[in-house]
Amino acid sequence: MQKINIDVTSEIGKLNAVLIHTPGHEIENVTPENAERALYSDILNLSVASGEYNVFRAVLKKFSNVYEVRLLLQELIADVAAKDRLLKKICKNESIDCIKSDLAKLPDDVLASQLIEGVPIEKNTLTKFLSNERYQLQPLHNFFFTRDASVSINNEILISKMASVVRERESIIVESIFNDHPLFEGNTFNPIDSPGNISNVTIEGGDVLIARDNILVIGIGARTTTQGVDYIIEEFKRKKKTHHIIVQELPRTPESFIHLDMVFTFLDYDQCMIYEPVVLNKHSFETVHIEIDNGAVKAITECASIIDCLRKLKVDIEPIKCGGDNEEWVQEREQWHSGTNYFALAPGKVMGYGRNSYTTEALNKKGYEIINGSDVIKDNINIHEIEKCVITIDGAELSRGGGGCRCMTMPISREKLS
């Protein structure tokens, strides 16, 4: 088995390898009663979402090697020692040591599914019989947003400290895959292993963007705390190199602003997609530049915007507006359905939801050819001969889960930028 070296030094370098999770029965277990706990504001139809996701996955496969969490997990737990380590972590974290031995006896494929789709509660006591809970181990309703549980930063993997306990198992599973699956070569680092106080530390992948190998852009808000950024600062200080962190404050409501990539994503060497009312509103949402050099914080200064700060670091970038130059209510509608959440397959070749027509039109005016994802997978067009394009996929159902194409991908390897 040829190992994959973790190597991501930008958001736009040509994609070589990516981690995804195809949504399954776990999303069917969201009900009106548990939707809020599951971090959903709506209920998805699996059959419709699966059709949209199949096109999304097939487009990825035209550009890159695609790895599925469920299959990697199944292969991982074939190793008895790795399975035991994983089950110990999960059962301890969720206080279910009583079922660990039963889980260990399951066939590998069944166990992999139950660790994602949930373990139904056995009504063998009065307490359990009268309980409204359906699961002893809750389903991972959000796992198809694989971006959040980990982040590839250069040749290492940051394991996320999730803001909600209902998503902690995602990070545990992903960490086990990168540490124990023989396919991967690279180090992981995890805030929970930090010797200091981590009670207020949270950081999720949707808030971390790799502008260049020594420049991160990080959002702080509902999912990532200032203490989470401080953890990254300490990690960079240990490397004794020059690093820059641009921190963008986000609104805490509504939930469409949960991560930075819901208001800002990179498209090409010199272009990005923004939700203007947040990214360019310096009076309401602060932008801070942190410079780290030779093991110390050299400076912390306020900036006018992410765009302005990047330009000072010689990354000259033009913003394209989510919703285009239309009225603010149009921008609001398209941002709500992940209108800024584009995923770069290569410089200038991006993928997003076709439902955001005003944003797609704005990209087209800037030289991006509009291509339907179905034409890509049917080979009706040679995508590699096109210099700049936006590949659209149907996302009317997927977007109701609260994320877009970047949310559903976790790059493992990209080509370095020239």
Q: Are 185 and 4 in contact (CB under 8 A)?
A: yes
Token digits of residue 316: 């000259």
* Residue 76: predicted pLDDT: 96
Whether a cis peptide bond, with omega within 30° of 0, leads into 251 is no
Signed CA dihedral, 221, 225, 226, 228: sign only: negative
Report the C-alpha gap between 287 and 418 in whole angstroms.
28
Residue 91 annotated in active site: no
* Residue 30: predicted pLDDT: 65
Residue that has been written with the tokens 């035991």 in this structure: 84
How does pLDDT run along the chain (418 residues), one tens digit per residue?
688 999 999 999 999 999 999 999 888 776 656 545 545 556 678 889 999 999 999 999 999 999 999 999 999 999 999 999 999 999 999 999 989 999 999 999 999 999 999 998 888 888 888 788 888 899 998 999 999 999 999 999 999 999 999 999 999 999 999 999 999 988 999 999 988 778 899 999 999 999 999 999 999 999 999 999 999 999 999 988 999 999 999 998 888 899 999 999 999 999 999 999 999 876 678 999 999 999 999 999 999 999 999 999 999 999 999 999 988 889 999 999 999 999 999 999 999 999 999 999 999 999 999 999 999 999 999 888 999 999 999 988 898 888 999 999 999 999 999 8
Long-range contacts: 175-182, Cβ < 8 Å, 24+? 175/150, 176/73, 176/76, 176/82, 176/85, 176/86, 176/89, 177/69, 177/72, 177/73, 177/76, 178/6, 178/150, 180/76, 180/79, 180/82, 180/85, 180/86, 181/72, 181/75, 181/76, 181/82, 182/1, 182/3
Tell me which CATH homologous superfamily contains domain 4-414. Answer: L-arginine/glycine Amidinotransferase; Chain A (3.75.10.10)
Residue 389 phi, psi dihedral angles, 5° rounding = -160, 160
Residue that has been written with the tokens 């330009």 in this structure: 311
Of the candidates 303, 309, 405, 407, the residue annotated as catalytic is 407
